[in-house]
Chains A and B, each alone.
Chain A
Amino acid sequence: MKRPELIARFLIVTGILLAVGAPLFLWARTPLIHARMAEDGGWNPDIIQAQVGKPLHLKITSDDVVHGFAVGQMDMQSVDILPGKVTDITLNFDKPGIYTFYCTRWCGLNHWRMRGTIEVSGSPLDPEPVSPPLYVSLDLDLDAPHEAPLIPADQPSAINGQPLTATNSITLSREDYLTHSPYDVFTELKNTSLTEEQRWDVVAYIWQSNTTSVSFANGKELYAQNCAACHGENGAGDGVFADDLAIAGESSMQSMEGAMDMVMQSPVDFTDPHRMLGASPALLQGKILRGGMGTGMPMWGSIFTEEQIWDLIAYIYSFQFEYQN
């Protein structure tokens, strides 16, 4: 072989290798994340590394049904992940830490287990001081029953409560609202000249005045997207998964008090006044933050912002009180 021929051959081979290899190399740099139902493994991979200030490119596809992708506590629109389609997502992080990403479209009974983490490294490394949630500072036992010993005969009405609250100049600070249950406030109104029914109406009005129409609508939307499948659209604990959860509870009993666990498996009924009127917002916040310790209630602390949780709680109380539209 002559030298020019050798050079030509070498050039052609190198060119072909580059033309095939370069795209392959670049493509491999962005791994494809596969989404599957939680029963089949959920997100794969479910731990992603990222850096502050560097945009994180993700390519996600679904292997079975429609899933969704969102990162908890970040203000982002959730993105649908469709089977047979690769969805590109670019994320920017301005604070280091561990973020939770989760599925946003119901993909079965264990949909909420479909979670993963993004570990974001970088500076600033001094974490902001975090105040413990209210239930910790109040030393509330989330798992003890907090029943209201006395419940109203009829549904308390904020509409009737509004003039009563004004004429008797009853006020309750935001902090007192958060730390007291409706029944506590009802008890404190003993010293007024109001009847029991009127006192409940005042409580309903106080609870309504601790949310705005925007917050309430936001809570309603969050409830529909994340809670209604188990707790039911009307809060009665009769969502489409309620029966499945009870069956799942029966088959997964591996604890000392198996029978108790089975009872705990059915979603809580928010229309039950004994339970709801004895629960303070701080207690409910704790339950939502921490989840239900083996009951199938997800842990939302890493997903919702604090504001979202208060909006949600304001909405959950509306199953007890009659509010103005």
Chain B
Amino acid sequence: MRPTPNTDRPTSHNLMRFHFSLLLLVTAGLVVAFAPLPAQPITPQERTFEIDAHQFAYSPSEIKVNPGDTVTIQLVSTDVVHGIYVDDYDISVEADPGQSATLTFVADKPGSFRFRCNITCGAMHPFMIGKLTVGSNNWLYRSIGLAALAVLGMTVSRKQKA
């Protein structure tokens, strides 16, 4: 909050109102940021994705699963030897053309993880990446909520000063 200039001293009544709305905003912010979400019971299922690997991309390059799912990735290379390594899960598999390889794991860590090619497959090999998303991105929604609260707080304080 901006320190209010001396020429415009708020009355004690105004000050109380101001403190009250500040407290309200901060509380709302804490709730948005840290309130536990109602747990939605999601029954884990088995999912299979066929990922086609070619120089220098995966298609599909983004896969989304729910926490607890048993995920099977079938890697099919269509030009040279490629691999797939999933960050944080620390698992990998490689596939030669004509020999598809599968990778099965339980998605027990929520969040977004890069997967990348772990076999040097040519000039742009370092840029061959994709994304595995486990569960919904709650922090995104929480930060949107916080941003909205901040905007609200700014407008309220402006109004009170006016």
Residues on A facing B (Cβ under 8 Å): 62, 64-66, 82-84, 105-109, 111, 224-225, 227-230, 232-233, 239-241
Q: Roughly how many angstroms separate A105 CA and B80 CA in the complex, as a whole number?
A: 8
Q: Roughly how many angstroms separate A111 CA and B119 CA in the complex, as a whole number?
A: 17
**4 closest Cβ contacts across the A-B interface?**
A229-B98, A228-B98, A229-B97, A240-B78
| Contact assessment for B98 and A224 in the assembled complex, using a CB-CB cutoff below 8 Å | yes
Q: Which residue of chain B has the shortest Cβ distance to A224 in the bound complex?
A: B99
Q: Roughly how many angstroms separate A122 CA and B69 CA in the complex, as a whole number?
A: 63
| Contact assessment for A233 and B100 in the assembled complex, using a CB-CB cutoff below 8 Å | yes
Residues on B facing A (Cβ under 8 Å): 76-81, 96-100, 119-123, 125
For residue A62, which residues in chain B have a CB less than 8 angstroms away from its CB?
120
| Contact assessment for B98 and A227 in the assembled complex, using a CB-CB cutoff below 8 Å | yes
Q: Can you give 16 A-B contacts (C-beta < 8 A)?
A: A62-B120, A64-B122, A66-B81, A66-B121, A83-B120, A106-B81, A108-B80, A224-B99, A225-B96, A225-B99, A228-B97, A229-B97, A233-B100, A240-B77, A241-B97, A241-B98
| Contact assessment for B120 and A106 in the assembled complex, using a CB-CB cutoff below 8 Å | no
Report the minimum CB–CB distance from A243 to chain B (whole Å).
9
| Contact assessment for B80 and A106 in the assembled complex, using a CB-CB cutoff below 8 Å | yes
Q: Roughly how many angstroms separate A204 CA and B123 CA in the complex, as a whole number?
A: 49
For residue A109, which residues in chain B have a CB less than 8 angstroms away from its CB?
79
Q: Roughly how many angstroms separate A16 CA and B162 CA in the complex, as a whole number?
A: 86
Q: Roughly how many angstroms separate A160 CA and B73 CA in the complex, as a whole number?
A: 37
Report the minimum CB–CB distance from A303 to chain B (whole Å).
16
| Contact assessment for B98 and A239 in the assembled complex, using a CB-CB cutoff below 8 Å | yes
Report the minimum CB–CB distance from A271 to chain B (whole Å).
16
For residue B97, which residues in chain A have a CB less than 8 angstroms away from its CB?
106, 228-229, 239-241
| Contact assessment for A233 and B120 in the assembled complex, using a CB-CB cutoff below 8 Å | no
Q: Which residue of chain B has the shortest Cβ distance to A241 in the bound complex?
A: B97
Report the minimum CB–CB distance from B136 to chain A (whole Å).
35
Q: Roughly how many angstroms separate A83 CA and B118 CA in the complex, as a whole number?
A: 12
